[in-house]
Amino acid sequence: MRLAYFPGTRRKVTVAEYVSETGAKTARTGDDYIAPDAQCPACLGNMYAVRGAPQRIQFFRHRVGLNCPASRPAGEPYLRMTPVEPDVVGGIELRRAFIENWRLHYSAIRTLAPCLSPEEFLTIVGSADELRVWEHRALTESWLPQTLVLLIDFPPWTGLRRNGVPERDLWLRFWYQGQHETFSALWIDMQHGATLCRASFEPPRRETDRPRYENLRKQSELQPDRNFLNAPAKYIPAFIVRTVEHGLT
């Protein structure tokens, strides 16, 4: 990762800035100074600076053993999303409401993940079915878009295309800041304002590869609109409507 939080702050610094401010040990006998760790902007875990030769790229790397969403290989679920104590009846109702209002959800998810394709949308629904995400007790319909975007990664080549060319330039991935292991734990934080993050990675050259956190270009903190169910429906092109409605039946 090119930028990390300066130790104990929320200020993003480069390796050069970090090094110039934390300094190094001296020749004094017994000086065992070790620069304090920087923090990962994604998971807030500890990171150290990797300094190659000056002409090499310098970056921050996690201490071992941290499961950071920024470095997780995509395809692995970011959190354990399956409820431990599922609410089966509530899940059926929530899914029914989602299908009934799918256009509103499509627009809300598209705001978070630009260039959303109908195939991506249907894949998300399939993953939610498989993981039984609908059956979380505390989950309500207005929280669905910011929950469902956690389920898949969004590379350029699965998004919308214009004349065969992907409209999305970067690989998108979503997570909530902080260290959580289950979606239920996240829910407790969500009520107190856990922050949804969107990372944009430089996509790998081959479609079968995954971006690494060294390829992280940008990370944004999002503020999802939780009132989208009451807003007027936004325009969705006819070919998307056809594909989604065909896929949902």
* Interaction of residue 40 with Zn ion, rule CB under 5 A: yes
Q: Which range touches Zn ion (CB under 5 A), out of 35-43, 50-58, 114-122, 142-150?
A: 35-43
User: Which listed range, 14-22, 33-41, 124-132, 136-144, lies at the site for Zn ion (CB under 5 A)?
Assistant: 33-41
Sole window of 42-50, 128-136, 170-178, 199-207 interacting with Zn ion (rule: CB under 5 A)? 42-50
Q: Does 42 bind Zn ion (CB under 5 A)?
A: yes
Rounded to an integer, what is the distance from CA 148 to the centroid of its chain?
11
Question: Which stretch in 70-78, 81-89, 150-158, 189-197 sits in contact with Zn ion by CB under 5 A?
Answer: 70-78
Shortest distance, position 181 Cβ to Zn ion, whole Å: 14
Minimum CB–partner distance for residue 216 and Zn ion (Å): 10
68 binding Zn ion? (CB under 5 A): yes
The reply to whether 43 sits near Zn ion by the rule CB under 5 A is yes
Name the residue nearer to Zn ion (CB basis): 166 or 178.
178
| Residues engaged in binding Zn ion (CB under 5 A) | 40, 42-43, 45, 68, 70
